[in-house]
Structure 1
Amino acid sequence: MSFTFRAAEERDIPRVCSFAQTEQDLFFFFPAAHWPLTHEQLRESIAKRSDSTVIERDGQVVGFANFYLWEAQGTCTIGNVIVDPEARGTGVGAALILHMIEIARSRHQAAEVTLSCFNSNVAGLLLYPKLGFVPFAIEARKNKLDERVALIHLRYAPA
């Protein structure tokens, strides 16, 4: 399958917002956001982050990610990862994460790439280790229902 990557643009915001079809999707993608996700919430997040990137398949945006932490020759932390519900399970997420690792290394000379995943995000927890991420910390958090959840922090450590 052939994918292309490019910087996210204003015209992509409505499509990316449409990927969060449930409150749980939104919580995994953008925990600080309020349901339903508005274009303005995503726009504000993009403005505070680095390297907001979309992945396209056949000219259609099917995924989005960025960095919420980026340090030259330090750590880049991938965030706001979401894939079009119609494209989940097709390799889009893996391709997007691997591309973000490449951006971290080539543009920021990152020594370390990390990301975080909530314990109930089974798709993420199954995907990230396949790509070379290993857990290194667990943080107690609260979800939107004020229930305890675990945020699992993972570090890219390819074999």
Structure 2
Amino acid sequence: MPLSFRAVRTEDIPLICTFPQSEDELYYMYPKASFPLSHSQLQEAIEQRADSTVIELDGQVVGFANFYHCEDGGRCSLGNVIVSPAARGKGVARYLVERMIEIALDKHQASEVTLSCFNQNVPGLLLYPQLGFVPFAIEERRNKQGERVALIHMRLQR
């Protein structure tokens, strides 16, 4: 399975907007956005964030992520992580997060990479510790239905 990565392009936006399949999936990816994810919402996120990156499988975009906070020599915080429904369970998320860690460490000389994962996002909660992320805080949030959820903050130190 030949996976590759590159910077996001404007023409990728319509496809990436189809990746979140439900309000919950969009909430895990981008809590501030409203479902369905619009081109303008995603474009705004890309403009406000750093290193927006896509993963390609056989030339087709199947994953997306970026940093919502990134300071050279300091912390890079991974966000907007999403994988195409057709590519889930095929190692794309692992490859995506590994590439983003490399960008943080190599390009930004980050001392740590952080991310946050909602308690209902079981695939994320199972993946991130396999990649070395360790929980360090839990924050109470309210989802779009007003229900209590836990946002688990994790870090990977250099």
Same fold (TM over 0.5): yes
1:47 aligns with 2:54: no
How far off is 1:2 after superposition? 1.8
Which residue of structure 2 lines up, in the alignment, with residue 38 of structure 1? 38
How far, CA to CA, are the matches of 1:119 and 1:78 in structure 2? 17
Which residue of structure 2 lines up, in the alignment, with residue 74 of structure 1? 74
Which residue of structure 2 lines up, in the alignment, with residue 135 of structure 1? 135
> Cα RMSD between the aligned structures?
0.9
Which residue of structure 2 lines up, in the alignment, with residue 25 of structure 1? 25
Distance 1:125 1:77, change over 3 A: same
When the two structures are superposed, what TM-score results if normalisation uses the length of structure 1? 0.97
When the two structures are superposed, what TM-score results if normalisation uses the length of structure 2? 0.98
How far off is 1:55 after superposition? 0.3
SS at match of 2:76: strand
Kept after mapping to 1: 8 A contact 2:111/2:157: no
How far, CA to CA, are the matches of 1:35 and 1:134 in structure 2? 30
Which residue of structure 1 lines up, in the alignment, with residue 121 of structure 2? 121
> Structure 1 stretches (4+) deviating beyond 2 angstroms?
none
How far off is 1:98 after superposition? 0.4
How far does the alpha carbon of each residue in 1:113-141 deviate from its partner, in whole angstroms, 9 at most, with x for none? 01000000001001111111110000111
SS at match of 1:18: coil
Kept after mapping to 1: 8 A contact 2:69/2:75: yes
Instruction: Could you tell me which runs of 5 or more consecutive residues in structure 1 were left unpaired when the two chains were aligned.
Output: none
Q: How many residues align?
A: 158
SS at match of 1:46: helix
How far, CA to CA, are the matches of 1:115 and 1:89 in structure 2? 20
Residue identity over aligned pairs, in percent, reads 62
How far, CA to CA, are the matches of 1:132 and 1:112 in structure 2? 11
1:92 aligns with 2:92: yes
How far off is 1:57 after superposition? 0.6
How far off is 1:157 after superposition? 4.5
